Amino acid sequence: MSDIIQLLPDHVANQIAAGEVVQRPASVVKELLENAIDAGASVITLLLKDAGKTLIQVIDNGKGMSATDARLCFERHATSKIKDAEDLFNLSTKGFRGEALASIAAIAHVELKTRQDNEELGTAIKIEGSTVVSQDIVSTAKGTSIAVKNLFYNIPARRNFLKSDTVETRHIIDEFQRVALAHPNISFSLHHNGNEVYHLKNSNLRKRIVAIFGNRTNEKLVPIEEQTDIITIRGFIAKPEYAKKKRGEQFFFVNDRFIKSSYLNHAVNSAFEGLLEQGAHPTYFIYFEVPPNSIDINIHPTKTEVKFDNEKALYAIIRATVKHSLGQYNVAPVLDFNRDATLDTPYEFKDKSSMSSPTITVDPTFNPFKTEPTESQHTYEKKSTASTSTSFSTPSKSSYKHDYKKDAGSWESLYSNIEPIEDTSVSQGQLFESTQETETGKTFQIQKKYILSSIKSGVVLIHQTLAHQRVLYEEYLENITVKEANSQQLLFPINISFSSTDIEMIYGMKSDLESTGFVFNEFTKDSITIGGIPIAISESQITLILEQLLDDMKLEVPDTSFSHFDVMAKSFAKSLAIKTGTVLSEKEQETLVNNLFSCKEPSVSPLGKATFKTLTLQEIDTIFSK
Residues 248-266: tens digit of each pLDDT? 789 999 988 898 888 899 9
Residues 353-362: tens digit of each pLDDT? 555 666 777 7
Query: Quick check: 410 and 421 in contact, CB under 8 A?
Result: no
Stretch 293-298: mean pLDDT? 72
Report pLDDT for 563.
58
Report pLDDT for 561.
45
Least confident of 234-238, 343-347, 468-472: 343-347
Residues 20-40: tens digit of each pLDDT? 668 899 999 999 999 999 899
Check pLDDT > 50 for residue 443.
yes
Check pLDDT > 50 for residue 387.
no
Characterise 414 by phi-psi region: left (phi > 0), alpha (psi -120 to 50), beta (else). alpha
Question: SS3 of 273, please?
Answer: coil
Q: CA triplet 590, 595, 599: central angle to 5 degrees?
A: 150
Check pLDDT > 60 for residue 419.
no
Check pLDDT > 50 for residue 135.
yes
What CATH class is the domain 445-613? alpha beta
Question: SS3 of 199, please?
Answer: strand
Pairwise CA distance, residues 253 & 304, whole Å: 10
Report pLDDT for 429.
41
CATH of 10-200 among 3.30.565.10, 1.10.1040.10, 3.10.310.10, 3.40.720.10: 3.30.565.10
Whole-model pTM: value is 0.65
219 by Cβ neighbours in 10 Å (0-12 / 13-18 / 19+) ranks as: exposed
Q: If pLDDT is split at 50, 70 and 90, which confidence band does 80 have?
A: low
Question: What sign does the dihedral 14-17-23-25 (CA atoms) show?
Answer: negative
Pairwise CA distance, residues 13 & 424, whole Å: 84
Residues of the chain with CATH 3.30.230.10: 211-328
Least confident of 78-92, 398-412, 493-507: 398-412
Stretch 384-388: mean pLDDT? 42
Q: If pLDDT is split at 50, 70 and 90, which confidence band does 464 have?
A: very high
Report pLDDT for 432.
40
H helices present in 336-425, as ranges: 375-383, 397-406
Check pLDDT > 80 for residue 411.
no
Report pLDDT for 382.
44
Stretch 64-86: mean pLDDT? 73
Who has greater pLDDT, 405 or 48? Answer: 48
Q: If pLDDT is split at 50, 70 and 90, which confidence band does 367 have?
A: confident
* Closest to 44 in 3D by CA, of 55, 26, 29: 29
Which of 16-30, 72-86, 363-377 holds the top average pLDDT? 16-30
Who has greater pLDDT, 345 or 449? Answer: 449
Residues 299-321: tens digit of each pLDDT? 555 567 777 878 888 999 999 99
Report pLDDT for 576.
83
Check pLDDT > 90 for residue 236.
yes
Task: List, in sequence order, every residue forming a beta bridge with 111; answer none if it has no partner.
Answer: 126, 147
Q: If pLDDT is split at 50, 70 and 90, which confidence band does 581 have?
A: confident
Least confident of 117-131, 326-340, 425-439: 425-439
Check pLDDT > 80 for residue 150.
yes
Check pLDDT > 90 for residue 126.
yes
Pairwise CA distance, residues 554 & 562, whole Å: 16
Check pLDDT > 60 for residue 403.
no
Check pLDDT > 60 for residue 169.
yes
Q: If pLDDT is split at 50, 70 and 90, which confidence band does 612 have?
A: very high
Least confident of 177-186, 192-201, 324-333: 324-333
Report pLDDT for 183.
95
Stretch 587-591: mean pLDDT? 89
Check pLDDT > 80 for residue 180.
yes
Check pLDDT > 70 for residue 397.
no
Residues 525-545: tens digit of each pLDDT? 778 999 998 877 788 888 878
Who has greater pLDDT, 593 or 426? Answer: 593
Residues of the chain with CATH 3.30.565.10: 10-200
Kindly state the percentage of the chain with pLDDT values over 90.
Answer: 30
Report pLDDT for 526.
78
* Closest to 590 in 3D by CA, of 435, 464, 438: 464
Report pLDDT for 201.
94
Check pLDDT > 70 for residue 497.
yes
Residues of the chain with CATH 3.30.1370.100: 445-613
Angle between helices 165-182 and 205-213 (to 10 degrees): 170
Q: If pLDDT is split at 50, 70 and 90, which confidence band does 173 have?
A: very high
Q: Which amino acid is at 336?
A: D
Mean pLDDT score of the chain, rounded to an integer? 78
Check pLDDT > 50 for residue 376.
no
Report pLDDT for 345.
53
* CATH architecture under which domain 211-328 falls: 2-Layer Sandwich (3.30)
